């Protein structure tokens, strides 16, 4: 393998268009054999690339394949690293690793944002095209070099270099799940309602969600996906339950109507007090927190 890589490097030095090859090598640690695969993997649907056979292709199909490969490899890594953990723990941890926000941040750290082709202005501000491109790049690596090289890239680069697994496994990041579980435990009913959809200045759809407890609105949130808006609304609702005296009084009234006592103060203390912080939480570039918007 070492000799093969060295031979490719020597041939590359004589190659006129060597820059794309070097970029892929710097990111993955492997020199491309079929550069067309990598060109396609880095082409957003807004800027398709013409292949040697005349077809115009983008990276959506490769993103589909890369997503499946990434989930498989992460599952493999977690299964072997945590031999005594149950299925629920492994599934939750994998979802935190492969969530769009985390992948997008890692893609930027790797420099993928500088080589992705896209034509829609400011689209990168509203969706995770760099993380999606990284998944497509993983598919290109798989088609070009096979599963073992993909495993090495995910394990040695993505996981070992850019993630802090111990931090990921110890944190609960899903505000929606936290809120639902807390309300179920305390016999309180809540609903998530989509109350508005509109377009921002870049014509990107924005969704707004409200959370109601009984007849009272306890939180609202907006996002570029319905799930993101629900997470933001859940975070706002948790903050209100934890700190708003009026909301607490309303909860007491609801419970008394059903012949139940006040919620124990220790139950309120179980809810997180801090607002969500940067995505860099589970990467090695910072030591803050991250949310899971799956």
Task: Find the catalytic residue in 101, 135, 210, 292.
Answer: 135
Sign of torsion over alpha carbons 228, 230, 235, 236:
positive
CA dist 95 to 31, 83, 102, 221, 258, Å? 30, 18, 10, 22, 37
Residue 26 tokens, joined: 């710097």
Residue 138 tokens, joined: 């993983």
Query: Which run of H or E residues covers position 7?
Result: helix 2-13
- Phi and psi (nearest 5°) for 93? -65, -40
Task: Find the catalytic residue in 60, 67, 109, 280.
Answer: 67
Pairwise CA distance, residues 272 & 231, whole Å: 14
Q: Is 144 a catalytic residue?
A: no
Assess contact for 124 and 117: CB atoms under 8 A. no
Contacts of 31 (CB under 8 A, 6+ apart): 5, 8, 9, 12, 21, 24, 25
Q: Is 135 a catalytic residue?
A: yes
Q: Show which residues are catalytic.
A: 67, 135
């Amino acid at each position: 393998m070492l000799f093969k890589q060295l031979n490719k490097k020597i041939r590359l030095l004589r190659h006129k268009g060597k820059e794309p090859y070097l970029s892929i090598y710097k990111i993955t640690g492997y020199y491309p054999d079929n550069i067309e695969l990598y060109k396609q993997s880095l082409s957003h649907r807004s800027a398709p690339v013409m292949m040697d056979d005349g077809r115009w292709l983008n990276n959506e199909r490769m993103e589909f394949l890369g997503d499946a490969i990434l989930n498989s490899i992460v599952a493999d890594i977690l299964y072997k690293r945590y031999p005594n953990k149950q299925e629920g723990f492994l599934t939750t941890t994998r979802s935190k690793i492969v969530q769009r926000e985390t992948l997008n941040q890692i893609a930027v750290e790797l420099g993928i944002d500088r080589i992705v082709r896209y034509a829609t202005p400011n689209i990168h501000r509203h969706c995770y095209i760099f993380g999606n491109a990284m998944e497509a790049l993983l598919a290109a690596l798989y088609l070009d070099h096979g599963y073992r090289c993909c495993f090495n890239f995910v394990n040695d680069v993505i996981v070992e270099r850019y993630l802090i697994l111990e931090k990921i496994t110890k944190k609960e990041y899903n505000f929606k799940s936290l809120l639902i579980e807390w309300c179920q435990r305390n016999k309180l009913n809540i609903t998530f309602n989509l109350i508005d959809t509109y377009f921002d200045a870049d014509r990107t759809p924005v969704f707004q969600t409200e959370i109601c407890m009984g007849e009272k609105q306890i939180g609202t949130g907006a996002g570029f996906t319905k799930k993101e808006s629900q997470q933001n609304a859940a975070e706002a609702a948790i903050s209100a339950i934890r700190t708003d005296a009026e909301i607490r009084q309303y909860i007491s009234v609801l419970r008394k109507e059903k012949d139940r006592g006040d919620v124990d103060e220790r139950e309120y203390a179980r809810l997180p007090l801090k607002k969500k912080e940067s995505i860099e939480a589970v990467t090695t570039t910072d030591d803050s927190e991250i949310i899971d918007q799956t």
